Homo-oligomer: A and B are copies of this chain.
Amino acid sequence: MKNTFGNSVTVTLFGESHGEAVGAVLDGLAPGTPVDGEYIREKLTLRSARSDISTARSEKDEFKIVSGVKNGVATGTPVCIIIPNGDTKSADYGKTGFLARPGHADYTARCKYHGFEDRNGGGHFSGRITAALVAAGSICCRALEEKGIFIGTHISRAAGITDAPFGDIENDVKKLAKKPFPVLDDARGAEMHAAILKAKSELDSVGGVLETAVAGVPAGVGEPWFDTVEGLLSHALFSIPAVKGVEFGSGFGFADKKGSEANDPLENVGGKITHLSNNNGGVIGGITNGMPIVFRCAVKPTPSIARPQKTVDAVSGENGIIEIKGRHDPAIVHRAAFVVNAVAGLVVYDMLSGRFGTDFNAPKTEVQSI
Protein backbone atom coordinates (compact mmCIF):
# COMPACT_ATOMS: atom_id res chain seq x y z
CA MET A 1 0.00 0.00 0.00
CA LYS A 2 1.65 3.22 -1.06
CA ASN A 3 -0.51 6.17 -2.14
CA THR A 4 -3.64 4.72 -0.55
CA PHE A 5 -4.80 5.34 3.01
CA GLY A 6 -7.57 4.08 5.22
CA ASN A 7 -9.08 0.87 6.52
CA SER A 8 -12.83 0.86 6.01
CA VAL A 9 -12.82 3.99 3.87
CA THR A 10 -9.81 4.56 1.64
CA VAL A 11 -8.46 7.36 -0.46
CA THR A 12 -6.00 6.81 -3.32
CA LEU A 13 -4.18 9.79 -4.83
CA PHE A 14 -2.77 10.17 -8.30
CA GLY A 15 -1.54 12.84 -10.65
CA GLU A 16 1.28 15.22 -11.41
CA SER A 17 1.46 18.97 -11.36
CA HIS A 18 1.82 19.39 -15.11
CA GLY A 19 0.29 16.09 -16.18
CA GLU A 20 -3.18 15.53 -17.53
CA ALA A 21 -4.92 15.75 -14.17
CA VAL A 22 -4.67 15.16 -10.47
CA GLY A 23 -7.30 13.17 -8.66
CA ALA A 24 -8.42 10.79 -5.97
CA VAL A 25 -10.49 7.66 -5.58
CA LEU A 26 -12.56 7.66 -2.40
CA ASP A 27 -13.96 4.24 -1.56
CA GLY A 28 -16.26 3.09 1.21
CA LEU A 29 -18.73 5.97 1.62
CA ALA A 30 -22.06 4.92 3.02
CA PRO A 31 -24.67 4.73 0.27
CA GLY A 32 -26.77 7.88 0.33
CA THR A 33 -23.98 10.13 1.65
CA PRO A 34 -24.59 13.58 0.12
CA VAL A 35 -21.94 14.70 -2.36
CA ASP A 36 -22.42 18.44 -2.51
CA GLY A 37 -20.60 20.07 -5.40
CA GLU A 38 -20.97 23.58 -3.97
CA TYR A 39 -19.44 22.53 -0.67
CA ILE A 40 -16.48 20.88 -2.39
CA ARG A 41 -15.96 23.89 -4.65
CA GLU A 42 -15.98 26.23 -1.66
CA LYS A 43 -13.27 24.19 0.07
CA LEU A 44 -11.19 23.99 -3.10
CA THR A 45 -11.43 27.76 -3.45
CA LEU A 46 -10.30 28.28 0.13
CA ARG A 47 -7.32 25.99 -0.50
CA SER A 48 -6.25 27.79 -3.64
CA ALA A 49 -7.37 31.36 -3.04
CA ARG A 50 -5.18 33.85 -4.81
CA SER A 51 -3.93 36.87 -3.00
CA ASP A 52 -0.83 38.95 -2.43
CA ILE A 53 0.57 36.10 -0.34
CA SER A 54 -0.49 33.18 -2.55
CA THR A 55 0.46 32.43 -6.12
CA ALA A 56 -2.10 29.79 -6.87
CA ARG A 57 -2.36 29.09 -10.55
CA SER A 58 -4.98 31.22 -12.19
CA GLU A 59 -6.79 28.12 -13.45
CA LYS A 60 -9.79 27.19 -11.40
CA ASP A 61 -9.81 23.83 -9.68
CA GLU A 62 -12.64 22.49 -11.77
CA PHE A 63 -13.29 18.97 -10.67
CA LYS A 64 -15.26 16.17 -12.28
CA ILE A 65 -16.70 13.22 -10.43
CA VAL A 66 -16.58 10.35 -12.85
CA SER A 67 -17.99 7.55 -10.71
CA GLY A 68 -19.75 6.60 -7.50
CA VAL A 69 -22.25 9.48 -7.32
CA LYS A 70 -25.79 9.60 -8.62
CA ASN A 71 -28.51 12.16 -8.00
CA GLY A 72 -26.19 14.09 -5.71
CA VAL A 73 -25.47 11.24 -3.32
CA ALA A 74 -22.85 8.53 -3.07
CA THR A 75 -23.93 5.18 -4.46
CA GLY A 76 -21.55 3.41 -2.08
CA THR A 77 -19.09 2.40 -4.82
CA PRO A 78 -15.74 4.16 -5.43
CA VAL A 79 -15.90 7.88 -6.13
CA CYS A 80 -13.27 8.99 -8.62
CA ILE A 81 -12.61 12.72 -8.64
CA ILE A 82 -10.60 14.21 -11.48
CA ILE A 83 -9.16 17.73 -11.44
CA PRO A 84 -7.79 18.40 -14.92
CA ASN A 85 -4.65 20.46 -15.21
CA GLY A 86 -5.44 23.41 -17.44
CA ASP A 87 -1.82 24.19 -17.84
CA THR A 88 0.03 21.13 -18.97
CA LYS A 89 3.07 22.48 -20.71
CA SER A 90 5.55 19.76 -20.18
CA ALA A 91 9.12 19.21 -21.08
CA ASP A 92 11.21 16.11 -21.37
CA TYR A 93 13.83 16.80 -18.77
CA GLY A 94 14.64 13.12 -18.54
CA LYS A 95 18.16 13.25 -19.82
CA THR A 96 19.24 16.80 -19.08
CA GLY A 97 20.72 17.82 -15.78
CA PHE A 98 18.99 20.14 -13.34
CA LEU A 99 19.76 21.78 -10.05
CA ALA A 100 17.86 20.20 -7.16
CA ARG A 101 15.86 22.83 -5.26
CA PRO A 102 16.86 22.73 -1.57
CA GLY A 103 13.97 21.81 0.71
CA HIS A 104 12.07 20.25 -2.23
CA ALA A 105 11.83 16.58 -3.13
CA ASP A 106 13.89 16.93 -6.32
CA TYR A 107 16.84 15.03 -4.94
CA THR A 108 14.92 12.40 -2.97
CA ALA A 109 12.64 11.73 -5.95
CA ARG A 110 15.69 11.19 -8.09
CA CYS A 111 17.09 8.72 -5.55
CA LYS A 112 13.84 6.78 -5.47
CA TYR A 113 12.72 6.98 -9.09
CA HIS A 114 16.15 7.00 -10.77
CA GLY A 115 15.32 9.82 -13.15
CA PHE A 116 12.01 8.43 -14.42
CA GLU A 117 10.03 10.81 -12.18
CA ASP A 118 8.07 13.66 -13.71
CA ARG A 119 9.89 16.78 -12.58
CA ASN A 120 7.61 19.36 -14.16
CA GLY A 121 6.29 21.62 -11.44
CA GLY A 122 7.19 19.10 -8.78
CA GLY A 123 5.35 16.24 -10.48
CA HIS A 124 3.62 13.91 -8.05
CA PHE A 125 5.13 15.84 -5.11
CA SER A 126 3.37 19.05 -6.06
CA GLY A 127 1.09 20.75 -3.58
CA ARG A 128 -1.45 20.60 -6.38
CA ILE A 129 -2.21 16.97 -5.45
CA THR A 130 -3.71 18.38 -2.25
CA ALA A 131 -6.58 19.75 -4.34
CA ALA A 132 -7.66 16.14 -4.88
CA LEU A 133 -7.20 15.45 -1.19
CA VAL A 134 -9.38 18.44 -0.32
CA ALA A 135 -12.10 17.37 -2.74
CA ALA A 136 -12.21 13.84 -1.30
CA GLY A 137 -11.93 14.98 2.29
CA SER A 138 -14.64 17.58 1.88
CA ILE A 139 -17.15 14.85 1.07
CA CYS A 140 -16.29 13.25 4.41
CA CYS A 141 -16.36 16.56 6.29
CA ARG A 142 -19.79 17.36 4.91
CA ALA A 143 -21.10 13.94 5.92
CA LEU A 144 -19.63 14.30 9.40
CA GLU A 145 -21.36 17.65 9.83
CA GLU A 146 -24.67 15.84 9.38
CA LYS A 147 -23.67 13.64 12.32
CA GLY A 148 -22.83 16.72 14.42
CA ILE A 149 -19.07 16.49 13.94
CA PHE A 150 -17.32 19.72 12.96
CA ILE A 151 -13.69 20.26 11.99
CA GLY A 152 -11.85 23.57 11.88
CA THR A 153 -8.28 24.83 11.73
CA HIS A 154 -6.73 28.18 12.55
CA ILE A 155 -3.25 29.54 12.03
CA SER A 156 -2.01 29.27 15.57
CA ARG A 157 1.32 30.88 14.73
CA ALA A 158 2.99 32.30 11.63
CA ALA A 159 5.94 34.60 11.00
CA GLY A 160 6.50 34.93 14.74
CA ILE A 161 2.94 36.01 15.60
CA THR A 162 0.55 33.94 17.69
CA ASP A 163 -3.21 33.79 17.18
CA ALA A 164 -5.71 33.66 20.03
CA PRO A 165 -6.32 30.13 21.34
CA PHE A 166 -9.51 28.16 20.76
CA GLY A 167 -12.29 29.26 23.10
CA ASP A 168 -15.78 27.95 22.43
CA ILE A 169 -14.63 25.33 19.99
CA GLU A 170 -17.87 24.57 18.17
CA ASN A 171 -18.45 28.23 17.54
CA ASP A 172 -14.85 28.91 16.59
CA VAL A 173 -14.84 26.06 14.14
CA LYS A 174 -17.93 27.38 12.39
CA LYS A 175 -16.44 30.88 12.15
CA LEU A 176 -13.23 29.52 10.62
CA ALA A 177 -15.11 27.60 7.94
CA LYS A 178 -15.26 30.49 5.48
CA LYS A 179 -12.13 32.50 6.24
CA PRO A 180 -9.45 32.28 3.53
CA PHE A 181 -6.88 33.34 6.13
CA PRO A 182 -8.25 31.41 9.08
CA VAL A 183 -7.43 33.07 12.40
CA LEU A 184 -9.47 33.51 15.56
CA ASP A 185 -8.20 37.02 16.27
CA ASP A 186 -8.38 39.15 13.12
CA ALA A 187 -5.96 41.74 14.49
CA ARG A 188 -3.33 39.05 14.93
CA GLY A 189 -4.20 37.82 11.46
CA ALA A 190 -3.47 41.25 10.03
CA GLU A 191 -0.10 41.28 11.77
CA MET A 192 0.73 37.85 10.35
CA HIS A 193 -0.28 39.01 6.92
CA ALA A 194 1.99 42.05 7.16
CA ALA A 195 4.88 39.93 8.37
CA ILE A 196 4.41 37.53 5.49
CA LEU A 197 4.46 40.42 3.01
CA LYS A 198 7.66 41.65 4.61
CA ALA A 199 9.26 38.19 4.17
CA LYS A 200 8.11 38.22 0.57
CA SER A 201 9.75 41.58 -0.01
CA GLU A 202 12.94 40.04 1.34
CA LEU A 203 12.65 37.18 -1.19
CA ASP A 204 12.00 34.85 1.71
CA SER A 205 9.20 32.74 3.16
CA VAL A 206 7.77 31.88 6.58
CA GLY A 207 6.55 28.79 8.43
CA GLY A 208 3.84 28.37 10.99
CA VAL A 209 1.69 26.18 13.19
CA LEU A 210 -1.86 25.08 12.49
CA GLU A 211 -4.24 24.13 15.27
CA THR A 212 -7.22 21.93 14.51
CA ALA A 213 -10.26 20.91 16.51
CA VAL A 214 -12.62 18.06 15.74
CA ALA A 215 -15.76 18.49 17.83
CA GLY A 216 -18.47 15.89 18.29
CA VAL A 217 -16.68 12.56 17.99
CA PRO A 218 -18.14 10.14 20.54
CA ALA A 219 -16.00 8.55 23.24
CA GLY A 220 -14.70 5.03 22.63
CA VAL A 221 -13.26 5.29 19.12
CA GLY A 222 -9.68 4.22 18.33
CA GLU A 223 -7.38 1.36 19.27
CA PRO A 224 -4.93 1.00 22.15
CA TRP A 225 -1.91 0.03 20.01
CA PHE A 226 -0.95 1.11 16.47
CA ASP A 227 -4.36 2.21 15.20
CA THR A 228 -4.61 4.86 17.88
CA VAL A 229 -6.45 8.05 16.98
CA GLU A 230 -3.15 9.90 17.14
CA GLY A 231 -1.38 7.31 15.01
CA LEU A 232 -3.98 7.29 12.25
CA LEU A 233 -4.30 11.06 12.12
CA SER A 234 -0.57 11.72 12.15
CA HIS A 235 0.06 9.04 9.51
CA ALA A 236 -2.20 10.89 7.10
CA LEU A 237 -1.28 14.43 8.18
CA PHE A 238 2.42 13.92 7.49
CA SER A 239 1.47 13.43 3.82
CA ILE A 240 0.64 17.09 3.58
CA PRO A 241 3.69 18.72 2.02
CA ALA A 242 5.52 20.93 4.55
CA VAL A 243 3.98 19.32 7.65
CA LYS A 244 6.94 18.33 9.86
CA GLY A 245 5.36 17.91 13.28
CA VAL A 246 2.06 16.76 14.79
CA GLU A 247 1.11 17.08 18.45
CA PHE A 248 -2.07 16.38 20.38
CA GLY A 249 -3.43 18.43 23.26
CA SER A 250 -0.55 19.96 25.19
CA GLY A 251 1.88 18.05 22.93
CA PHE A 252 5.42 19.27 23.34
CA GLY A 253 4.13 21.58 26.07
CA PHE A 254 3.83 18.46 28.29
CA ALA A 255 7.62 18.55 28.61
CA ASP A 256 7.34 21.42 31.05
CA LYS A 257 4.19 20.27 32.81
CA LYS A 258 3.79 18.35 36.04
CA GLY A 259 1.39 15.41 36.26
CA SER A 260 -0.80 17.46 38.56
CA GLU A 261 -1.17 20.06 35.81
CA ALA A 262 -1.36 17.65 32.90
CA ASN A 263 -4.01 15.13 33.94
CA ASP A 264 -7.53 15.99 32.86
CA PRO A 265 -9.90 15.53 35.83
CA LEU A 266 -13.31 14.04 35.04
CA GLU A 267 -16.65 15.29 36.23
CA ASN A 268 -20.24 14.23 35.89
CA VAL A 269 -22.03 17.40 34.89
CA GLY A 270 -25.75 16.86 34.88
CA GLY A 271 -25.48 13.21 33.89
CA LYS A 272 -22.86 13.72 31.23
CA ILE A 273 -19.26 12.72 31.86
CA THR A 274 -16.87 15.48 30.85
CA HIS A 275 -13.25 16.42 31.44
CA LEU A 276 -12.39 19.66 33.22
CA SER A 277 -9.45 20.32 30.92
CA ASN A 278 -8.27 18.93 27.59
CA ASN A 279 -4.52 18.54 27.85
CA ASN A 280 -4.85 15.14 26.19
CA GLY A 281 -6.51 16.65 23.13
CA GLY A 282 -9.53 14.38 23.28
CA VAL A 283 -7.57 11.12 23.14
CA ILE A 284 -6.34 8.92 25.99
CA GLY A 285 -4.83 5.49 25.49
CA GLY A 286 -5.33 5.96 21.76
CA ILE A 287 -9.12 6.21 22.19
CA THR A 288 -11.42 9.24 22.10
CA ASN A 289 -12.70 10.48 25.46
CA GLY A 290 -15.58 12.60 24.14
CA MET A 291 -13.70 15.92 24.37
CA PRO A 292 -12.82 17.70 21.11
CA ILE A 293 -9.83 16.18 19.36
CA VAL A 294 -7.29 18.99 19.28
CA PHE A 295 -3.99 18.76 17.42
CA ARG A 296 -1.36 21.04 15.95
CA CYS A 297 0.72 20.68 12.80
CA ALA A 298 4.09 22.35 12.26
CA VAL A 299 4.40 23.76 8.74
CA LYS A 300 7.83 24.50 7.34
CA PRO A 301 8.47 27.66 5.32
CA THR A 302 7.82 27.33 1.58
CA PRO A 303 11.11 26.03 0.22
CA SER A 304 10.88 27.96 -3.07
CA ILE A 305 12.62 31.27 -2.42
CA ALA A 306 14.28 33.62 -4.88
CA ARG A 307 17.55 33.93 -3.01
CA PRO A 308 20.59 32.12 -4.39
CA GLN A 309 21.15 28.74 -2.68
CA LYS A 310 23.90 26.16 -2.81
CA THR A 311 22.90 22.86 -4.33
CA VAL A 312 23.95 20.09 -6.72
CA ASP A 313 22.91 19.02 -10.16
CA ALA A 314 20.71 16.00 -9.53
CA VAL A 315 22.03 14.15 -12.58
CA SER A 316 25.69 15.01 -12.82
CA GLY A 317 26.10 15.56 -9.09
CA GLU A 318 28.10 18.72 -9.73
CA ASN A 319 27.93 21.63 -7.33
CA GLY A 320 26.05 24.74 -8.36
CA ILE A 321 24.01 27.75 -7.22
CA ILE A 322 20.27 27.81 -7.82
CA GLU A 323 18.13 30.93 -8.15
CA ILE A 324 14.50 29.94 -8.37
CA LYS A 325 12.63 32.19 -10.79
CA GLY A 326 9.01 33.28 -10.89
CA ARG A 327 6.54 34.23 -8.20
CA HIS A 328 6.38 32.01 -5.17
CA ASP A 329 4.18 31.68 -2.11
CA PRO A 330 5.85 33.44 0.81
CA ALA A 331 3.60 31.31 3.06
CA ILE A 332 1.40 28.28 2.58
CA VAL A 333 0.25 27.86 6.14
CA HIS A 334 -3.17 29.43 5.43
CA ARG A 335 -3.74 27.17 2.42
CA ALA A 336 -2.51 24.08 4.25
CA ALA A 337 -5.18 24.73 6.90
CA PHE A 338 -7.87 23.53 4.53
CA VAL A 339 -5.89 20.48 3.56
CA VAL A 340 -5.58 19.59 7.24
CA ASN A 341 -9.35 19.82 7.64
CA ALA A 342 -9.88 17.52 4.68
CA VAL A 343 -7.37 14.95 5.92
CA ALA A 344 -8.90 15.00 9.38
CA GLY A 345 -12.32 14.48 7.81
CA LEU A 346 -11.09 11.43 5.90
CA VAL A 347 -9.50 9.85 8.93
CA VAL A 348 -12.40 10.47 11.29
CA TYR A 349 -14.94 9.22 8.75
CA ASP A 350 -12.85 6.07 8.26
CA MET A 351 -12.58 5.46 12.01
CA LEU A 352 -16.33 5.83 12.50
CA SER A 353 -17.07 3.54 9.55
CA GLY A 354 -14.78 0.89 11.01
CA ARG A 355 -16.23 1.28 14.48
CA PHE A 356 -19.93 1.53 13.67
CA GLY A 357 -20.15 -0.18 10.29
CA THR A 358 -20.21 0.94 6.68
CA ASP A 359 -23.77 2.26 6.96
CA PHE A 360 -23.03 4.39 10.01
CA ASN A 361 -24.25 7.54 8.29
CA ALA A 362 -26.49 6.03 5.63
CA PRO A 363 -29.91 7.64 5.48
CA LYS A 364 -32.78 5.42 6.48
CA THR A 365 -34.69 4.22 3.44
CA GLU A 366 -37.76 2.11 2.95
CA VAL A 367 -35.81 0.11 0.46
CA GLN A 368 -33.71 -1.28 3.26
CA SER A 369 -36.61 -3.29 4.52
CA ILE A 370 -36.94 -5.80 1.72
In the assembled complex, A327 has its CB within 8 A of some CB on chain B? no
B14 touches A66 (CB 8 A): yes
Complex interface residues of chain A between 286 and 338 (CB less than 8 A to chain B): 286-290, 296, 298-305, 307, 309-312, 314-315, 317-319
Which residues of B have CB within 8 Å of A370? 110-111, 273, 314-315, 317
In the assembled complex, A260 has its CB within 8 A of some CB on chain B? yes
A3–B77 Cα distance when bound, in Å, is: 8
A301 touches B258 (CB 8 A): yes
A216 CB to closest chain B CB, in angstroms?
15
Query: Which of A266, A299, A367 is the most central at the interface, judged by chain B CB atoms within 10 Å of its CB?
Result: A266
In the assembled complex, A134 has its CB within 8 A of some CB on chain B? no
Chain B proximity mask over A226-246: 1 for CB below 8 Å, otherwise 0: 111011101111110101111
A132 CB to closest chain B CB, in angstroms?
10
Task: Assess A239 versus B231: contact at CB under 8 Å? Given A254-B301, A262-B303.
Answer: yes
Chain B proximity mask over A253-282: 1 for CB below 8 Å, otherwise 0: 111111111111111100101001001110
Which residues of B have CB within 8 Å of A79? 14
Which residues of B have CB within 8 Å of A20? 64-67
A360–B276 Cα distance when bound, in Å, is: 32
A223–B109 Cα distance when bound, in Å, is: 9
Which residues of B have CB within 8 Å of A107? 219, 266, 273, 284, 289
Interface 9-mer from A49-57, A178-186, A205-213: A205-213
A119–B298 Cα distance when bound, in Å, is: 36
A226 touches B266 (CB 8 A): no
In the assembled complex, A86 has its CB within 8 A of some CB on chain B? no
In the assembled complex, A39 has its CB within 8 A of some CB on chain B? no
A25–B67 Cα distance when bound, in Å, is: 13
In the assembled complex, A157 has its CB within 8 A of some CB on chain B? yes
Which residues of B have CB within 8 Å of A239? 224-226, 228, 231, 286
26 CB contacts below 8 A, A to B, read A2-B226, A4-B27, A4-B226, A8-B8, A16-B75, A20-B67, A21-B80, A31-B115, A31-B117, A66-B82, A75-B116, A103-B263, A105-B285, A107-B289, A108-B288, A111-B287, A111-B288, A206-B259, A207-B254, A234-B235, A250-B300, A251-B298, A266-B310, A268-B317, A276-B310, A280-B300
